[in-house]
Each structure stands twice: as structure tokens, then as C-alpha cells.
């Protein structure tokens, strides 16, 4: 018997819709994978129904009630109208009753399943009060809830008939990847109670799915990084890796598993932090270089922190590790440092105590690697002060440290001697400081001067770059050319330095386009230029510092000093203007946008590039997030050809990230994969030795080429155009290898194999290249066999050509003889000739110039060798000719005579000529050898060696070359020479005004030294006090060294009339300066006024000299007192000069 249907007044059968409250606002949401979806109202608030239909019935009956407290106050007429309309519209049976007890209304609806549900929804919508529900969700799930173009949220709104508002993210900056507690935003749902409840469930279901997984990081403190072993966990629900180079450990997986692992790692780090201790020890700074931090860390697991500052007495070294390990590490460091000794060489004592010159030398030695070479040669450690210290103008000395084990004291002495030689060989006149190129161009100095510095043999030290723009100095060092037998003149040195100096004119010109701007930006607003974690500033700088342009942008800086409300910009006028506009745009965005740190942009990329974009374990996506400081959300399970990416963060960074992603996606989307069938035997040929061929192909076409072992397939992946071109070239290579795959084996004498191969394989490689074949010399297992084999691989034509050349070498080898000749070693130099010229001439005359292995044709023992045997190996005819020529040279030398010819030192240059050309011509033309004393030598004798008749001819030629052509000689007392010469100014003047040349014969060296001598050291009383601006002091001149018999000859050469005038001028100056009996010293507190005294091209100074008749000498940089002008003359002349 069927049970009777329930009464419509039975509330247990027909629960009421509604409750004690009309709003679900204020309910809390606990989100996460274990979240249970709560109701938006009490259980009695929900519409409950009971259907009386079975599954096979086409119609159903549903009963539900609406509680009085949520019902709208609808009139009876309006209520009946609604009931009638719903019955008619949906073809249902609809009954309604009202409880007499609580006034709740019960409905029973009968009809089709679809229509009953629709009527129920309409009744609830029309007869209940609207409710509002507010709850919070993680901000990062907002994009997922909304969906691309609203595709997720729109169906929820439509199906539930609600209005949904999701709060925008207002967090000031992108959320840190290290935070596990997401920032929250509020969701507000308005509608009827059924719709609000259903909408809430659907939204929280999306949130549940989005928060099921978590990606977080743990930052390892810098002091602990070296003590943390790398993680490598790769399980299905948990992945842990790191620490990476930034000290970050990455954890990804199910949220609960990730949080547990993170807490575990953080706990381990905290325990480790407690255990790790730091102990400092005072260790002399000079021995810091002997402490090996890597070695100690590897052996004792202790980290050593050595101070890197410029302070010489900064001696504290920190040892970080477990207490039990630190003591052993300290003892090891102490033992290591005690095994060395250190010697300091003060190079600023050289060249008259010129510290600036010593600074330049130290910088040059370091930059050129000379100190390292000395260290390698003598097994020492040599070091100069760091570049950032060498820029200081306050250095009192410049020392080079030389260290070595205590058992190697001789090595230190040898290193010291070598450094002294280098210092003494580079006088201040070989150094030039360039100070007019601003540090902004420091990076470009090396490339700009590369060509000129090589051609002029001038080393360029870009000190401004090496010292990180702490100076604007560039140092030019003129070096000796290896081919020059004599030191260059100062004019030649200056000319070479000028060439390199002028190559910097391009940068000097560019300085006119340089602009510096200081912007007024409030301190707290500069965060909008810097961006999250400095990412905006870094991105902005990277967009300019691309090689073609550069920019300097410093926050809180006014160009000279830190300044909180200033921003400093330096660059070309164009670039500075662009940066100013970018900064203005950033600041304007900060004012206009309320949520500037939550700016959102959605872009679409081809779905097939997502794996590349995301990267392994999300690596590439995380890199982009870190690089631009933004959040990047990737659409899950995109349905179309493209996937949506939502980028959220600082507006500037979002736009830059968007541009970067789109560019990369465009490049990846164009990538294709091509497969070429290549027989495995040709894989090695395509790859090449060390991968050189395949790398060339990859670089040429910007593709990746993969070879799989055991498979013929070669896979090419890259941009479509490049991949197609690479595919074509690989196919062409395969065709070439097939065409050139013929082989031939040649039997040759075993002893000829080394000749076929050549030094380092040069001969064999040459034949292979010329014939286009591969040559493989096979080892014979039978070491006593007379023949070996050579395998040729290539085209038929190439095999024939290679075989012909190899057989020719074999024939030549069989025709080879070796002859030894004993010769007195004193003749080796004559057989060799200047730079091997005679040896080369002997080989050429014998017909061996075009032969390989020329070195074997004539082998002369080294000077250090005790051997007397000269050896010649080669073709019989050539060897016989060479031996005959050597015998002839020896015979001539045995009959040679030596004569010495006294030639004035100033005429030696006439015998030598430019680059030694005149001397070589004399030696070749007269078959003699000529030795001219070096410039620094006191000897003036020229030595001629050769057969008697040849010596006489050479002697006559030299006398003709050096015949005197001067018109007259004026003897100038040596003590007056410097005054008459006026430091070379007078000599230059008579040359330019009267066209008269002056030479000094054998006294040239002495004359130069006298003219270049420093001004006398002023007495201590010559310097003024702090209150004085200048001070003039006089004293009687010291005449004790005056000697009229010690003379310097002034030989005058020119037209008779001009010579007579100059002779008169010289004699007049001698008489004038003999009367000078008073010395004067004019001290100035500010030496910069000396330039005004000198005037343009010395005009003012010359005028003072002329009017007063006094000798006046402006101090040079290398003078002991460079703030005192020296005067000499009669007392009246000095007073007038003052």
C-alpha cells in the first residue's frame, strides 16, 4: 500500500526557505585544498525540495517553502498574477498555502523537470528579498575566477542570476614569491538566496583548484649559503631545488606538502645559524694573498672573509664555520702564511722621486701583465697597488710587493732586479697622462685606441675604466720597437704618443654631445623609478646600455654627492631626453593610477610556445618574474590556438615584460623541426673536430643540430628560414662526402713518414687542403718494417693530386744528404748575418729558397752551445752549394782585418741611418761589418771588419759621409751652456729665425744633460708663510764651479751671413751671463699663476727676459720645487724682472 502523500503544512517534509537573517555577509572563508564549502546562510535559509517522481517519469512534483522573514510584501492581486503567469508560461500545476502559525508559504509544483526547476527559480526571484554575500579569496586567483575575457565568471552570473563584483588588487607591489600567505581581495555577490549560494560554491571551487598547488622559496642568508648542501628532490607532488646563485631554494608541489617542507628547511637553517660562529684574527694585510679560501673551505668547511678595502692596515680576517672546524682552519692559514717572505720595492724612488711617474708605471706593469710574467719566470708572486688606489694624487710612494717561499730568496732578488730594469728603461719622457676624456667614455678607450697603439707600439692603460670611473686619467706608454737597435729620440717618442693621443679625438668630439641633468624628485617618489626590488631601474638602464648607447642614472645623487631628492642622468643629449621622458611618465603613472603596482595586462601567445615560455619546472617563467618584478599567470587548458597570459605588477615593468614575452613568442612560434637522413659514418665529418663544423652551422643559421647515437636521423630545430637553409647545407655536405668517399693506400718508406707529416702536421695538412682529401698515416705494428702506409680519402682527382705530392716528397727524401762542417764559433755571427740576412742569402743562392724544411738546410749552433759543427741537410746539389759558400765566408773572415775610425758622436747617426739602413748598405756594398758604439757609450770609435781592400773602401765611404759641413765654432763655457741654450729654447729660435743648425760634436751627450738639468734647489727661506701670496728672495750666486777652460763647442751650420749673426748672438749672451752674480727665487702660493707669467707661447716671459736682461726659469713638473721661479742676473736685472 502506497504511503499517503505528505501534508503541505508539514514543515519536516517541506522545509521553509528563509531564516532569521536576510544577508550572508560577514562569513569567513578558509581556502585551500582541504577547504569545505560553507553555506552562505543557515540550513533553513536554503530552498529544500522533495520530488515525488521516479526516474522514469516524464513529469515531477516538487514542494518547497519560503519563510516569512525573507518574503517580499506582495499584494494578493500581484501574487495571483505571478502564479497565473507562471502556470501559463511553463505549463505546470502550481499550488500555494500559507501556514497559520508562522506565515511561511509552501508551494507544490508539478510538471516537466525543466519547467518545474524554472518555475521554482522564478518564484524565489520574484517573491524573496535580495541578499548580499561578501567573502575573501586569494588575490592571485582573481584572474582564474574571471577567466580570459570573463569566460569563467560570465556563466556563473548567467546561471545564478546574480551580480558579482571582485575587488581589484591594491597591494603596493607584486607579491613576494617567498610568501605563503596570499594577499586577499573581497568578492561581493548580490541576488536571490539560491543564486548567491550557488555562485559562491562555483567561485570557491575555482579557488580550491587554483590553490591546490603552491610554489614558494626560502632565502638562505648569505653567511649560510656555503654550508647548505644543494637540494634535488623531484617527486610527483613535491619538487625542491637550490640554493641557486642568488641563495634561493625553490619548493613546488601540493600546498600542504610544500608548507611542511618549507617549515622543515627553515627550521634546519635556524639550527644551522645557531651553530655557525665567526671568529676574527688580525693577520698582516701583506700576507692575505697567501691565504687560500677555497682550499681551506674544501678541507675544513670553513669560510674565510678577507677584507678587500683600500686601507693598508685593514688586517682583520674572519673565519666562519663550526667552532670545532675554525681552530684547525686558523692554524692551517697561520702555517701557510708563515712559509712565505715578502719584499717591497719602492719604485717611486726612481727618476728623481717622481711619484706620478711611479703610479703610471705600476698601472702599466699590472695592465700589461708584466708582473705576472715576472712571477712565472722566477716563481714569485709580484703585485702592484690596485688600480683604484693608483688614481690617488696623495700617494707618498708606490711599492711593488714580491713574495716567495722562504727557501726562494734568490727568486725574490731576480724578480726585484727585473722590475728595476723595467723601471729604469721607462723614463718620464716616455709616459703621457691624458686627462681630457671624461669617465663616461672609459669603456670605449681600449677599442678606440687599439689600431693606433699597435702601429705606434704604445701601450694604453685605460685607468679611468680600470678604476671604475674614479679618475679621468688615461696613461700612454711609448715602448721600444724590437727591430730598433738604438733608442728613439724624444721627438720620435712624442710623435708616436701624439698619434695615439689624437685617436682619442673621436671621444673628445663626442663629449660635445654629452649632457648631464639633475632632476628634482622627492625622496619617497624615487621608489617609482627604482621599481620593485630595483627591477624598473635595471630594465630602464638595460634598454640603453646595449653597446650602441649608454646612460648613467643614479638615484638620490646630484652628480657630486648623495642627495635624497635628486636624480642624476648622464649620456648623449638624445638618450638623456628619452630617460627624462621615461621618468616623467613613471611619476605621472604613480599619480594617476591608484593601483600602479597592480596594473594588469593580458596578452595572447601561441599555445605551442607555452612549454618554452614556462621552462623546466617553471624556471623560465620564474626568471621573467624575477627580472621584471611582476606576477605572470598562464591560462590553464586553453581551448583555442592561443593561450592568455595575465601580467600584473608595476605598470612600466608589465609593459617591458609584455614586450619581452611577445618578442620571444614570435621567435619560438616560427621554430620548426627538420629531420635529415645522414648515414652514421658521416656524422663525425659533419660535426668536425671538437664540433667546429656543426657549431659553425648552428651559429650561421641560429639553429640547434642534434645527432643521436645509433640512428641515422639528424634533427635540426630553429627559425623556419634558418632550419631550411641548414637542412639544405647538411644535405649538400652528405652529397659531398659520398662524392669524395673514394680511398687509396700508398706504401712509403717508414723513414719518410715524418717528412710527409711535417712539423705539427703542417706538410700533410697542406697537401690535404690543396687536394681536398683526408690523409691518415697508419701506424705499422711491425716497428722494424721498412715501409708504412698512407690512406687517402676523397675524390678521384684529389687522390691523384695528393699521391703525386706525397711521392715527390719521398723522392726528395731519398735524394737528401747531410753534411757536417767544423767552424770556429767566432764566425757563426758572420755566417748568420744581421737578423739572419747572410744565412738567408746563402740558402737563396744555393736554390733552397722554395724548399720546405729550410731550417734544416743550414743549422748553426746557438751562442750558448759549445758545439763547433754547422750542419746542412737537404737535396744534394743544394747542400753542396751551401757548404761551399760557408767555407768561402770563413776563409774571408780569417783573412779579414779590423780598423777603428774615430768619428764624432753627433755624426754616428749619419753612418747608421733610419732603422740602420745606411749601415746595412755600407756593409752589403763593401762586404764588411761595421760596429757603431751605442748612444750611451763614451766611445766614439767606429769599428770596421773585412778584407783589407774592402775595409779601405768602407772607410773612405764613411769619411765622405761624415765630413764636417759646419761654418764656424763658438766655444761656450760649460757653466754657461744651460743659460745660453735656455733649456733648448734659444737653439730652436736660431733654427727657426736664422735657419742655422747647432751641433756639439763629441760633447752632445753632455750638452743635452746640461740643458735638461733641474733648476737649483731654493733655500728654505725662499718659501712663504700661509699668510703670504708670494715671496721674492735673492742671494749671491755661487761662482765656485765657474771654469772658463771647460768648454762646450757650438758648431754652426747655415748660410755665411746667418751664421755670422748667430755667432754674434751667442757671444753676446756669453758676455751677458758672465756678469750674472745674483740668484733669485720667486715663490708663489698658487703655482697656477705661472701660466699667466709665461703667456701665449711664452710671449710674456720672453718680454720680461728682454726688458730685464735676467735669466728666468719656470719650474717643470719634475723639478724638486715646482712652486718657485728661478732667476739669475745682476741685482738690478733681478729687481727689474721682479
Q: Could you report the per-residue pLDDT of 749-795, keeping only the tens digit for each?
A: 888 888 888 877 888 999 988 888 889 887 666 667 788 889 988 88
What was the pLDDT predicted at 364? 95
> How many CB atoms sit inside 10 A of residue 130's CB?
17
Domain boundary among 779, 795, 814: 814
Whether 11 maps to a domain, the answer reads no
The predicted-structure confidence for 335-375, as pLDDT tens digits, reads as follows 888 888 888 899 999 998 999 999 999 999 999 999 999 99
Whether 281 maps to a domain, the answer reads yes
pLDDT at 707 over 60: yes
Q: Are 695 and 733 in contact (CB under 8 A)?
A: no
pLDDT at 431 over 90: yes
pLDDT at 13 over 60: no
pLDDT at 403 over 80: yes
Per mean pLDDT, which of 213-217, 262-266, 737-741 is the most reliable? 262-266
What was the pLDDT predicted at 462? 94
Identify the CA nearest to 930 among candidates 949, 911, 953.
911
pLDDT at 16 over 70: no
The predicted-structure confidence for 305-344, as pLDDT tens digits, reads as follows 887 755 555 678 889 998 889 888 888 888 888 888 888 8
Q: Which residue has the higher pLDDT, 286 or 495?
A: 495
What are the b/e assignments for 90-112, b being 16+ CB within 10 Å?
bebebebeebeeeebbbbbbbbe
Residues 54 and 189 in one domain: yes
The predicted-structure confidence for 1094-1116, as pLDDT tens digits, reads as follows 888 778 888 888 888 888 888 88
pLDDT at 667 over 80: yes
pLDDT at 592 over 80: no
pLDDT at 989 over 90: no
Strands of 15-162, DSSP E: 50-51, 59-66, 93-98, 105-112, 131-138
Identify the CA nearest to 811 among candidates 738, 907, 726, 876.
876
Q: What is the mean pLDDT of residues 852-870?
A: 82
Q: What percent of the chain has pLDDT over 90?
A: 17
Q: In what order do the strands lie in the sheet with 59-66?
A: 50-51, 59-66, 105-112, 93-98
The predicted-structure confidence for 928-963, as pLDDT tens digits, reads as follows 889 988 877 778 889 998 888 888 998 888 887 877
What was the pLDDT predicted at 681? 81
Question: Using a CB cutoff of 8 Å and minimum separation of 24, what contacts does 295-300 make?
Answer: 296/329, 296/332, 296/333, 297/226, 299/329, 299/332, 300/325, 300/328, 300/329, 300/332
Give Rg (Cα) of the chain: 48
What was the pLDDT predicted at 1111? 86
pLDDT band of residue 853 (cuts 50, 70, 90) is low
Domain boundary among 377, 407, 437: 407
Cell readout for 123 is: 518564484
pLDDT band of residue 46 (cuts 50, 70, 90) is very low
Whether 162 maps to a domain, the answer reads yes
Q: What is the mean pLDDT of residues 191-209?
A: 89
Domain boundary among 848, 868, 894: 894
pLDDT at 165 over 50: yes
What was the pLDDT predicted at 239? 86
User: Which residues touch 334 (CB under 8 Å, ≥6 apart)?
Assistant: none
For the chain, the domain total comes to 12
By three-state DSSP, how is residue 1014 classified? coil
Residues 281 and 270 in one domain: no
Q: What is the DSSP letter of 128?
A: B
Find the Cα–Cα–Cα–Cα dihedral 146, 151, 154, 158, rounded to 10°: -150
Residues 775 and 704 in one domain: no
Q: What is the mean pLDDT of residues 159-167?
A: 90
Residues 271 and 284 in one domain: no
The sign of the torsion formed by the CA atoms of 62, 67, 68, 73 equals: negative
The predicted-structure confidence for 1080-1091, as pLDDT tens digits, reads as follows 998 988 888 888
Lowest mean pLDDT among 27-36, 101-110, 266-275: 27-36
Q: What percent of the chain has pLDDT over 70?
A: 91
Residues 193 and 115 in one domain: yes
Residues 260 and 281 in one domain: no
Q: What is the mean pLDDT of residues 1039-1056?
A: 84
The predicted-structure confidence for 446-478, as pLDDT tens digits, reads as follows 889 999 999 899 999 999 889 888 888 999 999
Residues 873 and 901 in one domain: no
Q: What is the mean pLDDT of residues 480-492?
A: 76
pLDDT band of residue 1061 (cuts 50, 70, 90) is very high
Share of the chain residues as helix, strand and coil, in percent rounded to the nearest 5: 50, 25, 30
What was the pLDDT predicted at 23? 40
Identify the CA nearest to 153 among candidates 118, 205, 211, 214.
205
Residues 729 and 846 in one domain: no
Residue 971 has φ and ψ, to the nearest 5°, of: -85, 120
What was the pLDDT predicted at 4? 42
Residue 186 half-sphere exposure, CB side, CA atoms within 13 Å?
A: 9
Residues 128 and 148 in one domain: yes
What was the pLDDT predicted at 250? 85
Helices marked H in 762-875: 762-771, 796-814, 828-832, 837-845, 854-857
Whether 659 maps to a domain, the answer reads yes
> In CATH, what number is assigned to the domain containing residue 704?
3.30.1370.10
The predicted-structure confidence for 603-619, as pLDDT tens digits, reads as follows 999 988 888 888 877 78
What was the pLDDT predicted at 432? 95
What was the pLDDT predicted at 8? 35
Lowest mean pLDDT among 17-21, 157-161, 617-621, 1038-1042: 17-21
pLDDT band of residue 56 (cuts 50, 70, 90) is very low
Distances (CA, A) of 1047 to 377, 703, 725, 977, 1052: 49, 81, 84, 9, 15
Q: Provide the phi-psi class of 84: left if phi over 0, else alpha when psi is between -120 and 50, else beta.
A: alpha
The predicted-structure confidence for 250-302, as pLDDT tens digits, reads as follows 888 888 888 899 999 999 999 988 888 888 888 777 777 778 888 888 888 88
> In CATH, what number is assigned to the domain containing residue 231?
3.30.1370
Let me know the angle formed at the C-alpha of 254 by 250 and 257, rounded to the nearest 5 degrees: 75
Q: Which residue has the higher pLDDT, 388 or 215?
A: 388
pLDDT at 10 over 50: no
Whether 103 maps to a domain, the answer reads yes
What's the rounded Cα separation, in Å, for the pair 286 and 292? 14
The predicted-structure confidence for 386-401, as pLDDT tens digits, reads as follows 898 899 888 889 999 9
Residues 688 and 720 in one domain: yes
Whether 417 maps to a domain, the answer reads no
Q: Which residue has the higher pLDDT, 981 or 1120?
A: 981
pLDDT at 34 over 70: no
- pTM tops 0.85, yes or no: no
Q: What is the mean pLDDT of residues 18-30?
A: 39
Residues 1003 and 1067 in one domain: yes
pLDDT at 12 over 50: no
Q: Mean pLDDT of all residues in the chain?
A: 83
Whether 148 maps to a domain, the answer reads yes
Q: What is the mean pLDDT of residues 721-735?
A: 89
Whether 17 maps to a domain, the answer reads no
What was the pLDDT predicted at 657? 92
Residues 1130 and 985 in one domain: yes
What was the pLDDT predicted at 22? 38
The parent domain of residue 753 ranges over 742-814
What was the pLDDT predicted at 593? 66
Amino acid at each position: 500500500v502506497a504511503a499517503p502523500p505528505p501534508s503541505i503544512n508539514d514543515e519536516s517534509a517541506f522545509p521553509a526557505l528563509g531564516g532569521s537573517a536576510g544577508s550572508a555577509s560577514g562569513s569567513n572563508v578558509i581556502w585551500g585544498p582541504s577547504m569545505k564549502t560553507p553555506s552562505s546562510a543557515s540550513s533553513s535559509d536554503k530552498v529544500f525540495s522533495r520530488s515525488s517522481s521516479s526516474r522514469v517519469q516524464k513529469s515531477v512534483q516538487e514542494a518547497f517553502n519560503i519563510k516569512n522573514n525573507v518574503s517580499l510584501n506582495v499584494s494578493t492581486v500581484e501574487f495571483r498574477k505571478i502564479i497565473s503567469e507562471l502556470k501559463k508560461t511553463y505549463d505546470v500545476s502550481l499550488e500555494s498555502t500559507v501556514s497559520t502559525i508562522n506565515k511561511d508559504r509552501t508551494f507544490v509544483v508539478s510538471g516537466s523537470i525543466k519547467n518545474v526547476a524554472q518555475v521554482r527559480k522564478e518564484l524565489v526571484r520574484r517573491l524573496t528579498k535580495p541578499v548580499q554575500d561578501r567573502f575573501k579569496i586569494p588575490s592571485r586567483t582573481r584572474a582564474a575566477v574571471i577567466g580570459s575575457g570573463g569566460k569563467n565568471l560570465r556563466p556563473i552570473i548567467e546561471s545564478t542570476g546574480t551580480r558579482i563584483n571582485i575587488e581589484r588588487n591594491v597591494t603596493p607591489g607584486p607579491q613576494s614569491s617567498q610568501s605563503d600567505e596570499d594577499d586577499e581581495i573581497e568578492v561581493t555577490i548580490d541576488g536571490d538566496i539560491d543564486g548567491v549560494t550557488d555562485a559562491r560554491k562555483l567561485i570557491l571551487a575555482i579557488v580550491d583548484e587554483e590553490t591546490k598547488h603552491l610554489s614558494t622559496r626560502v632565502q638562505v642568508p648569505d653567511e649560510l649559503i656555503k654550508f647548505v648542501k644543494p637540494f634535488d628532490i623531484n617527486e610527483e607532488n613535491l619538487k625542491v631545488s637550490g640554493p641557486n646563485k642568488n641563495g634561493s631554494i625553490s619548493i613546488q608541489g601540493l600546498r600542504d606538502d610544500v608548507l611542511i617542507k618549507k617549515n622543515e628547511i627553515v627550521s634546519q637553517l635556524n639550527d644551522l645559524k645557531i651553530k655557525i660562529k665567526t671568529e676574527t684574527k688580525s693577520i698582516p694585510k701583506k700576507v692575505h694573498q697567501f691565504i687560500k679560501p677555497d682550499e681551506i673551505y674544501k678541507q675544513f668547511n670553513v669560510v674565510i672573509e678577507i677584507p678587500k678595502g683600500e686601507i693598508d692596515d685593514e688586517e682583520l680576517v674572519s673565519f666562519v664555520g663550526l667552532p670545532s672546524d675554525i681552530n684547525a682552519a686558523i692554524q692551517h692559514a697561520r702555517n701557510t702564511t708563515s712559509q712565505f717572505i715578502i719584499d717591497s720595492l719602492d719604485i717611486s724612488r726612481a727618476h728623481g722621486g717622481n711619484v706620478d711617474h711611479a703610479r703610471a708605471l705600476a698601472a702599466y706593469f699590472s695592465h700589461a701583465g708584466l708582473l705576472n710574467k715576472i712571477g712565472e719566470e722566477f716563481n714569485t708572486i709580484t703585485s702592484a697597488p690596485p688600480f683604484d688606489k693608483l688614481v690617488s694624487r696623495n700617494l707618498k710612494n708606490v711599492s711593488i710587493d714580491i713574495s716567495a717561499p722562504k727557501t726562494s730568496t734568490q727568486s725574490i732578488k731576480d724578480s726585484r732586479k727585473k722590475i728595476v730594469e723595467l723601471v729604469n728603461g721607462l723614463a718620464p719622457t716616455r709616459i703621457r697622462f691624458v686627462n681630457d676624456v671624461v669617465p663616461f667614455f672609459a669603456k670605449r678607450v681600449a677599442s678606440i685606441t687599439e689600431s693606433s697603439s699597435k702601429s705606434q707600439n704604445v701601450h694604453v692603460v685605460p685607468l679611468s675604466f680600470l678604476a671604475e670611473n674614479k679618475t679621468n686619467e688615461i696613461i700612454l706608454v711609448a715602448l721600444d720597437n724590437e727591430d730598433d737597435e738604438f733608442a728613439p729620440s724624444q721627438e720620435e717618442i712624442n710623435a708616436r704618443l701624439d698619434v695615439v693621443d689624437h685617436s682619442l679625438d673621436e671621444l673628445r668630439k663626442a663629449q660635445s654631445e654629452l649632457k648631464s641633468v639633475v632632476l628634482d624628485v622627492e625622496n619617497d617618489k624615487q621608489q617609482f623609478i627604482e621599481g620593485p626590488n630595483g627591477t624598473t631601474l635595471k630594465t630602464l638602464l638595460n634598454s640603453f646600455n646595449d653597446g650602441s648607447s649608454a646612460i648613467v642614472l643614479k638615484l638620490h645623487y646630484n652628480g657630486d654627492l648623495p642627495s635624497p631628492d635628486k636624480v642624476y642622468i648622464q649620456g648623449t643629449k638624445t638618450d638623456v631626453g628619452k630617460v627624462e621622458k621615461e621618468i616623467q611618465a613613471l611619476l605621472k603613472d604613480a599619480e594617476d593610477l591608484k593601483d600602479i603596482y597592480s596594473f594588469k595586462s593580458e596578452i595572447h601567445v601561441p599555445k605551442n610556445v607555452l612549454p618554452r615560455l614556462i621552462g623546466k619546472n617553471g624556471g623560465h617563467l620564474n626568471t621573467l618574474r624575477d627580472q621584471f618584478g611582476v606576477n605572470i599567470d598562464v591560462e590553464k587548458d586553453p581551448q583555442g590556438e592561443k593561450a592568455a597570459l595575465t601580467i600584473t605588477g608595476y605598470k612600466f615593468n608589465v609593459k617591458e615584460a609584455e614586450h619581452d614575452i611577445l618578442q620571444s613568442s614570435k621567435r619560438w612560434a616560427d621554430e620548426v623541426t627538420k629531420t635529415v637522413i645522414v648515414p652514421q659514418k658521416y656524422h663525425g665529418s659533419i660535426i668536425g673536430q671538437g664540433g667546429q663544423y656543426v657549431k659553425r652551422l648552428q651559429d650561421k643559421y641560429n639553429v640547434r643540430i642534434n645527432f643521436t647515437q645509433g640512428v641515422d636521423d639528424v634533427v635540426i630545430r630553429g627559425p623556419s628560414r634558418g632550419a631550411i637553409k641548414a637542412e639544405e647545407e647538411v644535405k649538400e655536405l652528405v652529397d659531398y662526402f659520398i662524392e669524395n668517399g673514394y680511398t687509396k693506400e700508398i706504401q712509403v718508406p717508414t723513414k719518410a713518414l715524418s717528412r710527409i707529416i711535417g712539423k705539427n702536421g703542417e706538410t700533410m695538412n697542406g697537401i690535404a687542403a690543396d687536394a681536398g682529401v683526408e690523409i691518415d698515416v697508419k701506424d705499422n705494428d711491425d716497428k722494424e718494417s721498412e715501409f708504412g702506409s698512407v690512406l687517402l680519402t676523397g675524390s678521384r682527382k684529389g687522390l691523384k693530386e695528393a699521391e703525386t705530392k706525397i711521392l715527390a716528397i719521398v723522392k726528395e727524401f731519398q735524394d737528401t744528404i747531410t753534411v757536417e762542417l767544423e767552424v770556429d764559433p767566432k764566425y757563426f755571427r758572420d755566417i748568420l748575418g744581421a737578423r739572419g740576412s747572410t744565412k738567408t742569402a746563402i740558402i737563396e743562392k744555393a736554390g733552397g729558397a722554395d724548399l720546405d724544411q729550410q731550417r734544416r738546410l743550414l743549422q748553426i749552433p746557438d751562442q750558448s752551445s759549445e758545439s763547433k759543427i754547422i750542419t746542412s741537410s737537404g737535396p744534394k746539389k743544394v747542400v753542396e752549394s751551401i757548404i761551399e759558400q760557408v767555407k768561402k765566408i770563413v776563409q774571408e773572415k780569417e783573412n779579414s782585418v779590423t780598423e777603428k775610425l774615430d768619428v764624432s758622436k753627433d755624426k754616428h747617426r749619419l753612418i747608421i741611418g733610419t732603422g740602420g739602413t745606411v749601415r746595412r748598405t755600407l756593409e752589403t756594398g763593401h762586404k764588411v761589418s761595421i760596429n757603431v758604439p751605442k748612444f750611451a757609450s763614451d766611445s766614439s770609435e767606429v769599428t770596421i771588419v773585412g778584407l783589407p781592400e774592402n775595409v779601405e773602401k768602407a772607410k773612405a765611404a764613411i769619411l765622405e759621409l761624415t765630413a764636417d759641413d759646419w761654418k764656424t765654432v763658438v766655444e761656450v763655457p760649460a757653466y754657461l751652456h744651460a743659460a745660453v741654450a735656455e733649456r733648448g729654447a734659444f737653439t730652436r729660435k736660431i733654427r727657426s729665425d736664422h735657419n742655422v743648425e747647432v751641433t756639439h760634436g763629441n760633447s752632445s751627450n753632455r750638452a743635452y744633460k746640461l740643458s735638461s738639468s733641474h733648476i737649483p734647489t731654493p733655500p728654505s727661506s725662499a718659501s712663504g708663510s700661509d699668510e703670504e701670496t708670494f715671496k721674492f728672495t735673492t742671494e749671491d750666486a755661487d761662482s765656485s764651479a765657474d771654469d772658463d777652460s771647460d768648454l762646450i763647442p757650438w758648431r754652426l751650420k747655415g748660410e755665411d751671413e746667418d751664421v755670422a749673426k748667430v755667432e754674434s748672438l751667442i757671444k753676446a749672451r756669453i758676455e751677458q751671463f758672465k756678469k750674472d752674480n745674483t740668484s733669485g727665487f720667486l715663490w708663489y702660493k698658487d703655482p697656477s699663476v705661472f701660466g699667466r707669467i709665461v703667456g701665449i707661447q711664452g710671449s710674456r716671459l720672453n718680454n720680461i727676459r728682454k726688458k730685464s736682461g735676467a735669466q728666468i726659469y719656470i719650474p717643470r713638473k719634475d723639478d724638486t720645487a715646482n712652486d718657485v721661479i728661478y732667476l739669475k742676473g745682476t741685482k738690478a736685472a733681478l729687481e727689474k724682472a721682479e
